[in-house]
Amino acid sequence: MKIPYYPGCTLKSTAKHFEISAIESAKKIGIEFVELPRWNCCGVVASLADDDIMHNLAPVRNMIRVLEMNRDGLVKDEKRLLTLCSMCFNTLSRANNRIKKKSDDLDILNDFMYKEDIDYDGSVEIIHFLEIIQELGFDKIEKNVKKSLSNLKIAPYYGCMLLRPKDVGIDDPERPTIFEKFITSLSAKPVEWNNKNKCCGSFLTVDNKEIVVELGNDILTDAKNSGADIIVTSCPLCAFNLDNRQKNIKAKYPEFKEIPVVYFTQLMALAFGLSKEITGFDGNFINPTKLLKSKNIEI
Amino acid sequence: MPKKLLLNDKSVDFFKKVSELSGEVITLCDQCGTCSGGCPIIDEMDISPSQLMRMVMLGDEEVMDTKTMWLCATCNTCTVRCPRELDVSKVAEALRQIKLRQSFDKINIDKIPKEDLKELPQIALVGAFRRLTS
Ligand code: SF4
Ligand code: SF4
Contact B78, B117 (CB under 8 A): no
pTM attached to this predicted model:
0.97
**b/e map A240-258, b = 16+ CB within 10 Å:** bbbbbbbebbeeeeeebee
ipTM of predicted assembly, 2 dp = 0.95
B118 touches chain A (CB under 8 A): no
Residue ranges per structural domain of chain B: 9-102, 106-134
Query: For A109, how many CA atoms within 13 A lie in the half-sphere containing its CB?
Result: 29
Residue ranges per structural domain of chain A: 2-129, 138-294
Interface mutation vs chain A, best among B17, B105, B123, most A CBs within 10 Å: B123
* Domain A138-294 = CATH 3.40.50.11810: yes
Residues 6 or more apart whose Cβ sits within 8 Å of residue A288? A230, A260, A262, A281
| Residues A164, B77: C-beta atoms closer than 8 Å | yes
Regions of chain B short of the pLDDT cut 70: 1, 6
| Residues A87, B127: C-beta atoms closer than 8 Å | yes
B103 touches chain A (CB under 8 A): no
The CATH number of the structural domain formed by A2-129 is 1.20.1050.140
Contact residues of ligand 1, CB 6 A cut-off: B 29-35, 50, 53, 78, 82-84, 86, 88
| Residues A205, B20: C-beta atoms closer than 8 Å | no
**Ordered per-residue pLDDT tens for chain A, 299 residues:** 999 999 999 999 999 999 999 999 999 999 999 999 999 999 999 999 999 999 999 999 999 999 999 999 999 999 999 999 999 999 999 999 999 999 999 999 999 999 999 999 999 999 999 999 999 999 999 999 999 999 999 999 999 999 999 999 999 999 999 999 999 999 999 999 999 999 999 999 999 999 999 999 999 999 999 999 999 999 999 999 999 999 999 999 999 999 999 999 999 999 999 999 999 999 999 999 999 999 999 98
Give the number of whichever ligand sits closest to the CA of residue B76.
2
CA of residue A232 relative to chain centroid, distance: 10
Written out in words, the top-level CATH class of the domain with range B9-102 is mainly alpha
